[in-house]
Structure formats: C-alpha cells, structure tokens
Structure 1
C-alpha cells in the first residue's frame, strides 16, 4: 500500500489505501460488475497484467476485495467495505465531468470505449435475434481500427476481429467523436448532421442505434454552464 501520511485524519488513512496509481480504476471496474482478471483488464487496457495483479493483491489484503476460487477459476468480488466506495467513485466521476477538463489527445482509447459501450447496451431496445454492429475508425490503422459488437436481447460481446456474422449496421467515425457522443458532449444526430459520424445499413437499424446505446454515467451529468 501507499506510504503513511503520518496523520490520524480519516481522509489520510483512506488515501494510504487508495491513492496508488490505477487503484480506484480497478475498484471502478469491480463496481461495474467485472469479476474475472481478464474482464478487469479490458476496463483498464493500458495497465500491465503484473501491476493489476499487484493492486488486486493489495486490495485483498486491505479487506476491500475478496478473492474467490472455483476450481481453476478465480473471481474478485468487492467486500462490504469495497461496496461502500461506490458513492465515492460516482462522486469522483461527476466532479471529473464537471471540472477536470477535456480529455487529452492520448486519452481517446478505442478499447475502453468499446468495452464501456458494450456493457451498457439497452437490451430491451435491441431487435430479436442477433444484431452485429461494426464500428470503424478510419484514422486508426491495423488492430483497433475496426470492432464488431454482437448484441441480443440477453447479451452483448465485442471484439476487434470479424466474428463471421452478417453486419446489421456500420458506424464510421473517429474515436474522439464517438467518445464525445458516448460522454454526452454531442448527440448522435448532431454528429451525423456535422458529417463526423456515418451510419450505414437498413434504415430501421440506423434509426434504432442511438436507442441501443442510451446516455449513461458521464453523459447524464449536468455541465457547469447548464447548472448555472
């Protein structure tokens, strides 16, 4: 864990456990429902596996995470102490949207964007059966420039290789634009009108796509100008 601040203040004692790099983002992933090591990694794609293992070990020793084994399978689950961090993480997210400023160029990560969108699909809005959405980012090259999200009324999955199913609708845009849409900085309609985002496929599917990915989290936070 982090070095002691040498203070009895509860804030200082809490930060001794939580202020190491990536720690709160690991907690965020656990709060979002990830339990397996590789699931957590997909939510923190730029974190090394070794460091993630270290952080999970520290959180377990601190009583924030419980490590459960099922044969060869290992799950990481928040303890009651860990669950009590939920309003803290939510408050940090709200503050970050309102006051932390715009993301830098290097903050736009297609891996995290696709993972976050896939786990927030509104399954009540998708058509029956299987629908594949192909996301294309022309400014990128090679792996990560195209993603396939397979969604059904019960589940969703995302990968950076063609799963071999027919594509229902294709979204062509930049990582920055789609992130802005997902974060509530721009609507789907505004992105299309400006020519920054293009939807191709059957008309019924094109019209329905925004309903499959409704505003969540940061997109619902009032910005300072709106609050005034």
Structure 2
C-alpha cells in the first residue's frame, strides 16, 4: 500500500494538515465533537465514505493521538471512538472553518447534513451578543438523537443526551428545524402540520430560533 504523503515542512500549519488534512479526517473529528460513536454511527453520519476508508482514517487519527477507541461497559458493551482531550481542542477550529466557509457564494443550503453537522452549525452561527440577556435550556429531539442546548452569559453549550427539566422541548425533523431557523415560518404552521411537537415555553423557542443568523455571503469585490 502506498504510504501517506506528507508535506515535509517545518511549518506548524503543514504539520497540522499532516495530522488531520487527509480526506474525511476532519469530518470524522466533526462527528465526534458531541461525544463518542460506534463505527456504524460514524458510517451513518458520513454518507459517501467506505468502511475501508473510515477504518484507515480512524487508525491514522488514533496513531496521531487525536482520538482513541474505548469499550463501553454494560449494558451497551460496545466499542466506540472518541476524541482525546487534545483532539477535542479542534472544536473551535472546526466551528471557525464552518463559519468561514458558510460565507462562500458556492455554499449549498439545500445539501444534505448529518445530524451532528446540523447541531454543530448552531454553535458556529450562534450570536452571543443577541443572547446576552437570555438564560435558557432547550431540549432538541431529531429522530433518535437528543441534545440539550444551554444558553447563559452569551454562550452556547450543546451536549448529547436526555434533557433534565429544560425550559422547552422541540421534537421535529431536520427540514422543519432548518426552516424554523432560516425563515420566518410560523411555529403554529409547523405545529398544525404535525412536523413539530413543542413542550414547555413557546417564548423561549421564539427567542432561541433568532440566535443563529446565517452570515452574509462574501461580496464578489472582496474575493478578487
């Protein structure tokens, strides 16, 4: 098998690309930012990657110290991959890259997203200034995936898992959630159609949905 090509450059940027610059590597990191996943979960979140390619990337990232493999105890008793503490430090880099690239005129808002990618995009687009006076916990259920969004002091924290006394719970699908975040679609319309189930404070939901404005595309003049 042909060995990996390296930049053989003393620049730290080049070395960083040696670590996570191979195709799919940074997307594997993205899929693990919200917590551990099994191999099958990673395959589901990365449509287009082959099992062999994913195995290779997981091996390389493990060898580099970015992630590790761990066996969960009963009742799960499954092997999962998770970021190391050092690997988790890639989060602000991934989010900043997402925010930067979302300003590209070539960005396709209709392209498919993994669930984790959608949820992480909330962190990338979060407007902390607009949320300065808001303190809230919002539970989000997207199919089999559950997350808790906590907003306080102009900061947003997102964790995977069951909610504990959230101010509101949204149970919906990706398309409906994106429509509520990206457009002025009324909550009543989504509720009446059955595409959305809302428990708790409607006022909190209305405030939270306004905190993720898409950045304006880069003007043509600024790209020349």
Tell me how far 1:22 sits from its aligned partner.
1.0
Please, what is the CA RMSD of the aligned residues? 4.6
Cα distance in 1 for partners of 2:196, 2:91 equals 40
Tell me how far 1:189 sits from its aligned partner.
2.8
Q: Tell me what 2:69 maps to.
A: 67
Please say if residues 176 and 196 of structure 2, whose CA atoms lie closer than 8 Å, have aligned partners that are also in contact: no
Cα distance in 2 for partners of 1:39, 1:221 equals 28
Q: 2:30 aligned with 1:23, yes or no? A: no
Q: Tell me what 1:129 maps to.
A: none
Q: 2:27 aligned with 1:11, yes or no? A: no
Task: Please give the TM-score of this superposition, normalised by the length of structure 1.
Answer: 0.56
Please say if residues 67 and 77 of structure 1, whose CA atoms lie closer than 8 Å, have aligned partners that are also in contact: yes
TM-aligned CA distance change 1:104 to 1:201, over 3 Å: closer
Q: Tell me what 1:103 maps to.
A: 108
Please say if residues 29 and 40 of structure 1, whose CA atoms lie closer than 8 Å, have aligned partners that are also in contact: yes
1:188 to 179, 185, 190: 185
Cα distance in 2 for partners of 1:59, 1:7 equals 20
Alignment of 1:62-211 (within 5 A): 62-70=64-72, 73-99=78-104, 101-103=106-108, 107-108=111-112, 112-113=114-115, 116=118, 155=162, 178=176, 180-181=178-179, 184-189=181-186, 199-201=192-194, 205=198, 211=205
TM-aligned CA distance change 1:188 to 1:151, over 3 Å: farther
Task: Render the CA deviation track for 1:46-72: whole Å, top value 9, x for unaligned.
Answer: 322222121111100111111123475
Moved over 3 A (4+): 113-117, 123-126, 148-156, 177-180, 201-208, 214-217, 219-222
- The SS at the match of 2:103 is helix
- The SS at the match of 2:71 is strand
Structure 2: gaps (5+ residues): 123-135, 149-160, 164-170, 219-224
Cα distance in 1 for partners of 2:63, 2:23 equals 17
Cα distance in 1 for partners of 2:59, 2:89 equals 19
Tell me how far 1:104 sits from its aligned partner.
7.2
Task: Please give the TM-score of this superposition, normalised by the length of structure 2.
Answer: 0.57
1:223 to 192, 196, 216: 216
